[in-house]
Amino acid sequence: MEGVKEGAHGGTLGSSVRSAGRLNSPRPVQVEPGLDGTPRRVNRRVVAVVREEWRVVDRWWTDEPVQRRYFDVVLDGGERAVVYRDERAGGWFSQRGV
Amino acid sequence: MVACVLIPGFELRAALRARPSLALRPAALAPAEGEEPLIGPITAAAEAQGVKPGMRMGEALATCPELVLVEQDPSAAEQAWEEILRRLEDAGFEVDSGDLGCVYFETRGVERLYGGAEAALERALAAVGSAWDPRAGAAGRRFAALAAANVARPGQVLIVADERTREFLAPLPLALLPLAEQRRRELEELGVRNVGELAGLPGGAVAERLGPDGRRAWSLARGRDRGRVRGRRAPAELIETLEFPEAIGNELTLRRALAVLVERLLGRAERGERFLRKVALSATLVGGGSWRRQLTLREPFAEADRLRIALGPKLAELSGPVLKLKLEALELTESTGQQLMLVRPEGDELQGMLRDGLRQVKASTGEGGVCTVVEVAPWSRIPEQRALLVARDE
């Protein structure tokens, strides 16, 4: 996946299940952030409300640490989306099941 | 006894009926659009030039530059096959149609009528017509009958006695068995070159190495074939056609045309209140080719909306602009009522229904189409690490 290291999604799972698909894998998404880094547009759709914001910092003890800034947003059409910025590799992703 | 009448290269022969002059020239059936570029059946002239069925198109044209590729005409092939089946039924045979060009029937009921199995098979060949070069085989089992028909020459009848089945099958090539090309190659690499050598292997070892398909092929090779012959239901003759003044390639227009055909078909008085079980949608394409898709409905019904939803996506598979669209009701239910459930299914019955549904989804979407969610680290703060999708084996 573009902009994200394999480790961020691979983790500690063994090679025996490598071929299986992952549930809720992140997908690249186009985000226009504001000056404070919060999303203003997601896939060209205007963000109406940012409901929540949180950080996930994990696996910092490994060679493939995870550092993400998540936003739970409501778009102008009323749909909800959860997007995050990968703060190590850069790039925006959307994710379900968060 | 089970009898099999076989017409090798039926689709090519059917397509050549419109261009008979090509029958004596090197010609091959072209692959359908979107399929792997492998040629289909070939004429005898093409075979004499070194072309083989299943060859890559480029290789075939390099081997025989004057090779003519004949466009597939599934609608004409289906119609020609239906005519043959009806002639056989008129002659008293209760036919069980396999693929196009291959039909089975039980000889027991007609042996007395024609004075023996051989005379009955000769009558069947005559009913098919010598122009198709049919051949017939009969044996105690379905697969052995197919093998006998494969070995017979055009117009010949070959009957294999029950006690000689294994002996007869032994020297035949593995290509006769319903095995994937890769599996067949695997067997050949292991030194297994014919049906007899496969039959000589231990069943457990074959199943372990080649899986259920291999085990089935092994059973067939040993003459243990449980395939029964079941006469087909009489086809319903409900057909609705729409001809366009000019070729239509727009899917929206085609969907509207389909809606009209569905309404007309369901409104036919001959249908009575019966439900549709099997339908076919076909089209005549610009340039003379045709397109056809057959659909067996999971549950018989007669609602226009459901039929449109079931058939609509098929229109996206059309390979070119359409001159004529045809909708056929191939099978109708016998009764007019719909069986409702008295008791809600549960336990094993519910599990069985679920398994059945999943099997159908898998059959239509291919391997990996049905998955199970397996939680591996539900406590993880990284969402994609919490669960995996694992393909279901059953």
Cβ-based contacts of B381 with chain A (< 8 Å): 56, 58
Number of folded domains in chain B?
5
For residue B175, the domain's CATH number is 1.10.150.20
Cα distance from A4 to chain B (closest Cα, Å)?
13
Q: Residues 6 or more apart from B173 whose CB is under 8 A from it?
A: B193, B194, B195
Note whether B110 and B120 are within 8 A (CB): yes
Backbone φ and ψ for B134, nearest 5 degrees, come out as -75, 160
Residue A13 is predicted with a pLDDT of: 37
Per-residue confidence (pLDDT) for residue B393, from 0 to 100: 64
pLDDT at position A20 is: 61
Contact between B384 and A56 using a beta-carbon 8 Å cutoff: no
Which chain A positions have a beta carbon within 8 Å of B383's beta carbon?
24, 95-98
Residue A46 — very low, low, confident or very high, per pLDDT cuts 50/70/90?
very high
Does pLDDT of B364 surpass 80? no
> Å from A7 to nearest chain B CA?
11
Residues B91 and B162 in one domain: yes
How is residue B122 written in tokens? 């000769």
- Counted across chains A and B, CB pairs separated by less than 8 A come out at 54
Shortest CA distance from B380: residue in chain A? A58
Q: Which of B210-224, B225-239, B262-276 has the highest mean pLDDT?
A: B262-276
Beta bridge partners of A85: A69, A92
Do B156 and B176 belong to one domain? Answer: no
Can you give the pLDDT at residue A6? 38
pLDDT tens digits, one per residue of A14-35: 333 334 688 889 999 999 999 9
Q: Which of A56-60, B73-77, B299-303 has the highest mean pLDDT?
A: A56-60
Compare CB distances from A23 to B381, B387, B391 and report the shortest one's residue. Answer: B387
Could you tell me if residue B339 is inside a domain?
no
Lowest mean pLDDT among A6-20, A46-60, B35-49, B255-269: A6-20
**How much is the pLDDT for B352?**
83
pLDDT grade, residue A50 (50/70/90)?
very high
Decide which of B334 and B118 is more confident.
B118
> What is the nearest CA distance from A3 to chain B, expressed in angstroms?
16
Q: Which residues contact A5 (CB under 8 A, 6 or more apart)?
A: A64, A88, A89
Within-domain flag for B233: no
Alpha carbons B85 and B128: distance in angstroms, whole number: 8
B127: domain CATH number is 3.30.70.270
Domain assignment present for B228: no
The domain in which residue B368 lies consists of 348-391
More confident residue, A13 or B160: B160
A33, burial (CB in 10 Å: exposed 0-12, middle 13-18, buried 19+): middle
- In chain A, the percentage of residues whose pLDDT exceeds 90 is 61
Same domain, B305 and B327: yes
Asked which of B291, B308, B332 is the last residue of a domain, the reply is: B332
pLDDT at B394: 58
B96 and B52 fall within a common domain:
no
Could you tell me if B315 and B380 lie in one domain?
no
Mean pLDDT estimate for chain B: 87
CATH (domain of B264): 3.30.1490.100
B66 lies in a domain? yes
The answer, yes or no, to whether residue B80 has pLDDT greater than 80, is yes
Nearest beta carbon to residue B382 from set A20, A21, A56: A56
- The reported pLDDT for the residue numbered A14 is 37
Does residue B375 contact residue B389 with C-beta atoms inside 8 Å? Answer: no
Q: What is the model's pLDDT at position A94?
A: 95
ipTM over 0.90: no
Residue B250 lies in a domain: yes
Residue A11 has pLDDT above 50, yes or no: no
**Which chain B residues have a beta carbon less than 8 Å from that of A25?**
384
Quick check: B114 pLDDT over 60?
Answer: yes
**Is A21 in Cβ contact with B388 (below 8 Å)?**
yes
For residue A42, is pLDDT > 90?
Answer: yes
Residues B358, B375 within the same domain: yes
* B143 and B199 both lie in a single domain: no
Q: Which residues of B touch A11 (CB under 8 A)?
A: 377, 380, 382, 385
Question: Are B40 and B79 in a shared domain?
Answer: no
B19 touches chain A (CB under 8 A): no
The enclosing domain of B24 has a CATH number of: 3.40.1170.60
Q: What is the pTM of this model?
A: 0.60
